[in-house]
Structure 1
Amino acid sequence: MGIQSSVVTVLWVWSALAWQRLCSGSYQRYNISPGFQGSQMDWIDNGGIFLLSNSSNFGFGFVTNSPADTTAFLLAVIHQSSTTIVWTANRDSPVAHSDDFVFDTDGNAYLRSSGAAVWSTNTSGQGATGMLLQDSGNLVVLGSAGPLWQSFSHPTDTLLSGQTFVEGMVLVSKPNAQNLSYHLGIVSGSSGGSDLMLYVDFQPPQPYWSMQQENRKIDNKIGGDLHSGALVSNSWNFYDQKGSLLWQFVIGVGGGGGESDANVTWAAVLGNDGFISFYSLQSGGPSIPSSIKIPRDSCDTPEPCSPYYICYSGTRCQCPAVLSSDPNCNPNIVSPCSSNTAYTLASVDDGVGYFATNFISPSFKVNLTGCKEACMGNCSCLALFFDDSSRNCFLFDQIGSFRQQSASNKSTYLSYIKIASNGSGGLSPVQDGNGSSGGKHFVIIIIICLVTASVIAALIYFAIRIHRRKRLPAEPSQGSSEEDNFLESISGMPIRFSYRELQTATDNFSVKLGQGGFGSVYLGKLPDGTQVAVKKLEGIGQGKKEFRAEVSIIGSIHHIHLVKLRGFCAEGTHRLLAYEYMAKGSLDRWIFQNNNGHGQLDWDQRFSIAVGTAKGLAYLHEDCDSKIVHCDIKPENVLLDDNFLSKVSDFGLAKLMTREQSHVFTTLRGTRGYLAPEWITSYAISEKSDVYSFGMVLLEIIGGRKNFDPSESSEKAHFPSYAFKKLEEGRLKEIFDDRLKYDDKDGRVEATIKVALWCIQEDLSLRPSMTKVVQMLEGLSDVPQPPMSSQVGFRLYANVFKSTSTEEGTSSGPSDCNSDAFLSAVRLSGPR
């Protein structure tokens, strides 16, 4: 009896294994259940496909990454007859033929490679009952109450008929040969409201097409914010939050058979050339492309030609004259912020435009001279475009192809690129009509001029040396000599002035601009007519350390939104710093209601100031050789020039951090009302503390009031708490300064308020980076609803703040951080 039982058991196990192996070569139609598992090898006879839709039009399984590579596989949904991939789980992480797809008994579906999950639906413990592939091409994990997960909510580079594309979703193309990817998303447009936009993943991203500006669309409704889009029949339809039809974009005209058939499945594919192409996926046949593409012209994409080339209609590429001597048509600028090369701006050919200027807000409004100075003052700026009619100035840190404007649409833009001033970036003498002999004569003239200029420069140099030697003070002490050696060793130091030179420039320090943290600031004028703000340090016993820190840090930093150190004095016991002069003073003079007679800033000016300040901080955090934490962001440390261009000051004592460090304790001290909660707890200070302070400043810019005002009602006295309350009530715009006029459709208003509330989250891990802040403010990244978790913490923090504040509320004086956690340090203020 025992032997018979054993034989039955063995036969049963063998039968089960045989049945499992037999089934592994069969399609699992329509639905698979939890407990399913298999690799590409198990389904090799079926081309790797193990799940079909009910109509067999779509399949799900393993497909090769490319025809040339048969060893790497993607887990994908494909259109069967045309073998078109319409969705991919692991596009960036191909797997081997032995790696498994698992739909485990806990309800989670995932792809496993070398023992680790490379993709997952994250549906564990949610009661999943099965996985099915719908006839629409939508892969769904089902629960008892409906879908728990679906591929239509996580698109890759393709949209299908019936698939709703909503805010927060993004299509991303495959990388091209230059490793660039293109993105499609619903974002805040430059003219307000939401828009469907294409953008390239430059740093920062640059948009190149928007549906609002697409002249081929059909307008069905005036007004309304875009919320979603879907391919319906032979058009791409777009809807507002209420489902009302806003626009239609017809895609079937000229596309081949079946354009008007409502049963035809259309696919919109974002390719690695930057175009959105449309295909009709025929049942049982190949895909048929439509003649319609987005954008219309290849010159409207970021790189139809190589960077710096000019694209002409029909994708004819031509190098601009200024770079024609370089075989690669390239200024050959590598790491300009860490290079010692001198640069200049060179004009590009007439009638040349750039794809991004139609879709982004200008960096600022200024005259051409100011625009050039802004680019030259920003080491990361590679090109500028100036609209002479509107005075809009655009600066770009990364450049694609230029484009030649048509005769009927001549651009009013003036275009300049940064090149090496010695001509190595492509500048070369232009030969005359006589050919090489004219070129030789030109070269001889240039050589004679250079030799003459060198002799004159040498004579001037020696004359200055002799003159200064006569004026040298007595032999310095050992300590002074030591500091001189230190200062001389700093590379790229600003101009070194004598004390008498700065005394003369300031008319013996007669015009006092303000009082800084450790000295007074005076108005000065250099011999060349340049105005400067001279900070005269007092009490050198402590000032030497702060002076060294500020000179070594600020002297090596150049950015359009950071105050520039023009020079310094280190003579005997004198310590002075000469900054660029900021004619409009500090931000606090302009945004608060009691602004001592200063004019009121309009909304556009305030927004521009906020973006500029964010860019300055992002540069300190991300783009310097060492990460710099400011630790004292407040309106008094945001200075404005003649054109209300904002610049961050007073970062000379910021704590330097290596990029490997994420947190540090600092010896600095900030200002009450702008300090992050971690300043009064045991948490370490990091760049996220600056993000918090920026959020508080941003609230003051938005509200036109200080964050703590005891003259207000108890509800409004602490402005951040009031802001969170209005967020909870869905009445965010009540936070906005009621003195300002703005367009109700201007999406920047609500987005800016939300950004501020994200920045002041009590949990520092929830605060965005300053780079992310810039992207959200400029509409290149969505701004989700801020969490309410900080509201209770803010009420507690507000009470602590009130108990330590002066009658002025958010006083501009530094807080006392002389504790065991925060050591005392002297704060050096920037020019006021």
Structure 2
Amino acid sequence: MASVSVALILLFTVSEIIRAAQNHQLKSTISLGSSLSPSGQHSWNSSSGLFQFGFYKQGSGYSLGIWLVTSPNITVVWTANRDEQPMPSNATLALTMDGKLILKTEESKEKPIADLVFDEPASFASMLDSGNFVLYNNRSGIIWESFSTPTDTILGGQSLESGEHLLSSVTETNSSTGRFCLSMQEDGNIVLYPRNMLNKALEAYWANGTDIQSEYPYSVKLNLSPNGVLQLLSGNKTQKILFRSSYSLKSMNETVIYRTTLDSDGILRLYSHHFKNDGNSTVGVEWSALEKQCVVKGFCGLNSYCSTSTNSSTKGDCHCFRGFNFINPEMKFLGCYRNFSDEEGCKRKMPAEFYNITSLKITWLGGLPYAKLSVSKKDCSKSCLNDCYCGAAFYSNGACSKHKFPLMFATKDQYASAILFIKWSSGQANLSTHRIAPPIGNEKVNDKRKLLTVLAGCLGSITFLCFLIAISSLLVYKHRSSKKLLVYEFMSKGSLADLLVNLETRPLWRDRVRIALDVARGLLYLHDECEVQIIHCDIKLRNILIDDSWRAKISDFGLAKLLMPNQTGIVAGVRGSRGYMAPEWQNSGLITVKSDVYSFGVVLLEIICCRSNFEVNVSTADEVLLSTWLNKLVEEEVDKITLERMVKTGLLCIQDEPNLRPSMKNVILMLEGTMEIPILAFPPLSHHLEEANNTAHKKKYIYYCSVETRPHSVKWLSGFWATPSPYESVFKDEFYPMCG
């Protein structure tokens, strides 16, 4: 009887302790109807005031997340919709009366923040002292919590479950998804590797190497305890302790909060934040998965290498290979672009005369080689020099591995035995394909069919001459009486519009890739390299001319506009070609260089699929399926990686919002594989649906927009419903890169 009484007393005591703890956590109760705004009350605080949930400043706008109140800058530990554009100051977050956590932007679009199970409504919410933001039902049960969807950080009391990931941020001040991933694998190991890698096992740069003793390794999770123990748990059993903090016993004069973060440099670190009672706070690194920065694959971007900093044996600096320049010197992790063209060298009978070779001692080079040879060091260098496809050769232990550009994951080490031979050219070729040829003088040209003559009168002659110089190589310039006659080269194959639709004249895949780059480089020349910036305003297949060598040049500058140095855009009447015009030109009449980018995106997708952006009176329903278009690509040798890169770039160019479209310089870098392609945003479908349903002229307009795809389902990619195709993997998930 006594034992029963003791048990009841203990049960009552434990219940009271739990209830008291819950009441303590729920002091910062958030009731239905509460709201936040960047311009008003911008956060909901935890009872201690150390954690806040709400809007924080990021870039030119605001993001929604949870942060630790540290000085001088806050420490963001969780972000909602982290890859969307920063929000304006009039955005609002509301816990609505019907129990939903809704974000509203200036466009009056509503977006739920919490993915509620079974759509059960919330009765109240709370920002807990643990850093967990929680929604409760009417029984005080948790129906959603931020701890269940970690971004780059886990806090004390939080776990990373089997199969889940942490994704680094871009920088310390930009919480968008970055370049690195930590995966809690189902075999019980945690692994670090760069994102978007096809062979994750090959490119991993750190793993804990746990020998799991659990009968169910898929139940193992990474856990950070409130007192700073980073461990792998299987149920309640500890499989491995990665680190145990020496500050496990809290002082009465301070509060210690622990967090484990996959930092933007690719290293997993355990931090401790010490908050004194007098208001001061300090932060320190308790543990780090790696000591040397250069061990992180992808810390430096493509076509660059990492070397140990002169001021530290653990920090790393990024450097471009010879013949390359940083894409952005302020953001070296973006990598480097080639400042020479290899096309002239490949045309020569002796390519070696065009190139130089420089060597660098390295410990590692990522990626798979396209050729392996067993030769001497000297012959390895010579083999790459004479091979037009070789960008660099990695020589180690008698093996020569030849790689194409771009190069990745190179790490310099002056004591290494391996050598990397990098090929480069001193001929700094211009990116533009349009250059003025030497004058022919008074040489007679007998074949009048091979001349395009332009009579420029007094009015507008200077402007028109600028356009002519921009689009073609000037061959003949003659004076006849008082009139000036311009003659420029004949493009023998004619318009790309005629070539693509004809099976007999259709360019091969490799030629289409080169044509797309030619057009991109031509637009770059107009936008950035002319003394006066030019907007073409009518980029379409019909205005792209092809010569005997399948080289493309831009023609027809009848709608082109000149931008003065103080102008970023021009308001003009709607006069472009339907299907190629940017939405903002149709809606407001405003045209900028991004209008050309939109038109190029449509052209790029047409070049890929050999189809016009609209079809008239198609014979069967299958003709408007994207899968039908892609199936036809199987008949020719199509490189899947290049195809994926081109489709992604094309979709990025046709975003409805001009600011989301890349510059033509970045378009070229993405097409060449030098720059990573940003994650695509979902464009609104209203514009596309309105156009697709326009039957006034009995036409079926095929518009391109990007959406998520799932197995065994239809996908919206071309303006019509499209069924799965052999290239499903090209469009599945890779558009929206994730760790898995």
User: Contact 1:549/1:652 (CA < 8 Å) preserved in 2?
Assistant: no
Q: What is the CA distance between 1:131 and its match in structure 2?
A: 1.8
CA separation in 2, counterparts of 1:44 and 1:791?
Answer: 45
Alignment partner of 1:601 out of 499, 508, 527: 508
> Counterpart of 1:173 in structure 2: which amino acid?
T
Structure 1 residue 155: Cα displacement: 3.1
Amino acid at match of 2:29: S
Which one scores higher on RCO, CA 8 angstroms, separation ≥ 6?
1
- What SS does the aligned partner of 2:74 have? strand
Say if 2:484 is the partner of 1:574: yes
Q: Contact 1:497 / 1:567 at 8 angstroms: preserved in 2?
A: yes
Counterparts in 2 of 1:133 and 1:311: CA distance versus 1, 3 Å: same
3-state SS of paired residue (1:700): helix
Tell me, yes or no, if structure 1 residue 74 matches structure 2 residue 64: no
Tell me if structure 2 keeps the 8 A contact 1:31–1:132: no
Where 1:131 maps in the other structure, the secondary structure is: strand
Contact 2:606 2:613 in 1 (8 A): yes
- Give the corresponding residue for 1:690: 596
After superposition, the Cα gap between the structure-2 partners of 1:496 and 1:319, relative to the gap in structure 1 and judged at 3 Å, is: closer
Deviation at residue 279 of structure 1 after TM alignment: 3.8
Unpaired runs of at least 5, structure 2: 1-21, 54-65, 83-91, 103-110, 115-120, 183-190, 210-217, 225-238, 246-256, 276-282, 324-337, 340-353, 371-383, 395-400, 702-740
Note closer, same or farther for the CA distance 1:174–1:752 as it changes in structure 2 (3 Å cut): same
Task: Compute the displacement of 1:350 (Å).
Answer: 1.4
Q: Report whether the alignment pairs 1:34 with 2:30.
A: yes
CA distance in 2, matches of 1:109, 1:611: 46
The CA deviation string for residues 393-431 of structure 1, in whole angstroms up to 9 with x for no partner, is: 5599xxx998369866433431468999xxxxxxxxxxx
Query: Aligned partners of 2:316, 2:363: CA distance in 1, in Å?
Result: 16
Moved more, 660-669 or 690-699: 660-669
Residues 277 and 294, structure 1, Cα contact 8 Å, conserved in 2: no
Aligned to 2:465: 548
- Write the mapping of 1:604-615 to structure 2, written as runs, cut at 5 A: 606-607=512-513, 609-610=515-516, 613-614=519-520
1:780 and 2:677 correspond: yes
Report the CA distance shift for 1:307/1:616 in structure 2 as closer, same or farther (over 3 A): farther
Residue in structure 1 matched with residue 419 of structure 2 by the alignment: 410
C-alpha spacing 1:142/1:742, structure 2 compared with 1 (3 Å): farther
Change (3 A) 1:744 1:605: closer
The 3 A distance-change label for structure 1 pair 130 and 351 is: same
Gaps of 5+ in 1: 1-25, 52-59, 66-71, 77-85, 92-100, 111-119, 188-194, 200-206, 221-228, 236-251, 259-264, 324-335, 338-344, 362-366, 373-383, 421-492, 514-519, 522-535, 555-562, 727-731, 805-832
Q: 1:709 to 1:792 in 2, by over 3 A?
A: closer
1:629/1:147 CA distance change after superposition, 3 Å: farther
1:64 aligns with 2:1: no
How many Å separate the matches in 1 of 2:29 and 2:223?
36
What amino acid is the match of 1:795? A
> 1:713 Cα deviation (Å)?
0.9
Check whether the contact 1:676–1:692 (CA below 8 A) recurs between aligned residues.
yes
Distance in 2, matches of 1:141 and 1:684, equals 45
In the TM superposition, residue 601 of structure 1 has moved relative to its aligned partner by 1.4
Instruction: Report the Cα offset of residue 34 of structure 1.
Output: 2.0
Normalising by structure 2, report the TM-score.
0.50
> Could you list the per-position Cα deviations for residues 708-748 of structure 1 after superposition, in whole angstroms to 9, with x for gaps in the alignment?
4557416467xxxx3xxx4xxxxx43332514358999476
* Equivalent residue number for residue 287 of structure 2: 289
Determine the structure 1 residue equivalent to 2:605.
699
Distance in 2, matches of 1:270 and 1:548, equals 56
Return closer, same or farther for 1:44/1:626 CA change in 2, 3 Å cut-off: farther
Contact 1:620 1:629 in 2 (8 A): yes
Determine which of 146, 160, 166 is the counterpart of 1:162. Answer: 160
> Do 1:130 and 1:142's aligned partners in 2 also have CA atoms closer than 8 Å?
yes
Which residue number in structure 2 is paired with residue 482 of structure 1? none
Give 1:782's aligned amino acid. Answer: I
Q: Which amino acid aligns with 1:34?
A: I
Q: CA separation of 1:591/1:102 partners in 2, compared to 1, >3 Å: closer, same or farther?
A: closer
616, 631, 636: which is aligned to 2:537?
A: 631
Instruction: Using structure 1 for the length normalisation, give the TM-score.
Output: 0.46
The match for 1:172 is 170
In the alignment, residue 736 of structure 1 is paired with which amino acid?
L
Find the structure with the greater CA-based Rg: 1
> What is the identity, as a one-letter code, of the residue corresponding to 1:537?
V
2:572–2:589 CA contact under 8 A, matched in 1: no
Matches within 5 A, 1:140-151: 140-141=134-135, 150=146
Shift of 1:606: 3.8
Tell whether the 8 Å contact from 1:675 to 1:689 is kept in structure 2 after alignment: yes
Residue type at the aligned position of 2:500: I
Contact 1:140 1:149 in 2 (8 A): yes
Match of 1:74, as an amino acid? I
Taking a change above 3 Å as real, the CA distance of residues 146 and 608 of structure 1, as seen in their structure-2 partners, is farther
Cα distance in 1 for residues equivalent to 2:527 and 2:169: 29
Selected match of 1:184 from 179, 195, 210: 179
- Taking the TM superposition and a 5 Å limit, the aligned residue runs for 1:184-583 are 184=179, 198=194, 211=200, 213-214=202-203, 232-233=221-222, 255-256=242-243, 269-271=261-263, 274-279=265-270, 288-292=286-290, 297=295, 301-302=299-300, 349-351=358-360, 358=367, 392-394=404-406, 403=412, 409-415=418-424, 501-504=440-443, 507-508=444-445, 510=447, 512-513=449-450, 520-521=451-452, 536-538=453-455, 540=457, 544-550=461-467, 554=470, 565=473, 569=477, 571=479, 572-576=482-486
Aligned pair in 2 of structure 1 residues 696, 164: CA closer, same or farther (>3 Å)? Answer: farther
How many equivalent pairs are there? Answer: 530
SS of equivalent residue, structure 2 residue 420: coil
Q: Distance in 1 between matches of 2:243 and 2:75?
A: 31
Match of 2:108?
A: none
> Is the contact made by 2:68 and 2:75 (CA closer than 8 Å) also made in structure 1?
yes
Is the Cα–Cα contact under 8 Å of residues 567 and 578 in structure 1 kept in the other structure?
yes
Please state how far the C-alpha of 1:32 moved relative to its aligned partner: 2.2
Measured after TM superposition, the shift of residue 130 of structure 1 is: 1.0
Letter in structure 2 aligned against 1:63? V
Q: Give the aligned residue type for 2:680.
A: V
> What value does the CA root-mean-square deviation take over the aligned residues?
7.0
1:276 Cα deviation from its structure 2 partner: 1.6
The separation in 2 between residues aligned to 1:743 and 1:186, in whole angstroms, is 33
CA contact (8 A) 2:167 2:178 kept: no
For the residues of structure 2 that align with 1:496 and 1:268, how far apart are their CA atoms? 61
Contact 2:170 2:176 in 1 (8 A): yes
- Indicate the SS of the match to 1:576: strand
User: In structure 1, what is the equivalent of residue 133 of structure 2?
Assistant: 139
- State the 1:690 CA deviation: 2.8
Percent identity, please. Answer: 23
Query: Is the CA contact 2:368–2:403 (under 8 Å) kept in the aligned structure 1?
Result: no
Distance in 2 separating the partners of 1:583 and 1:44: 72
Match status 1:736 vs 2:621: no
Code of the residue aligned with 2:484 in structure 1: it is H
Alpha-carbon displacement from aligned partner over 1:631-671 (angstroms, at most 9, x marks no partner)? 12123444568886766555586213468766534479544
Distance 2:546 2:583 in 1: 28
Q: How far apart, CA to CA, are the structure 2 residues paired with 1:664 and 1:587?
A: 29
Letter in 2 for 1:735: W
Name the stretch that deviates more: 783-792 or 29-38.
Answer: 29-38
Distance 1:269 1:650 in 2: 54
CA distance in 1: counterparts of 2:554 and 2:145, whole angstroms: 46
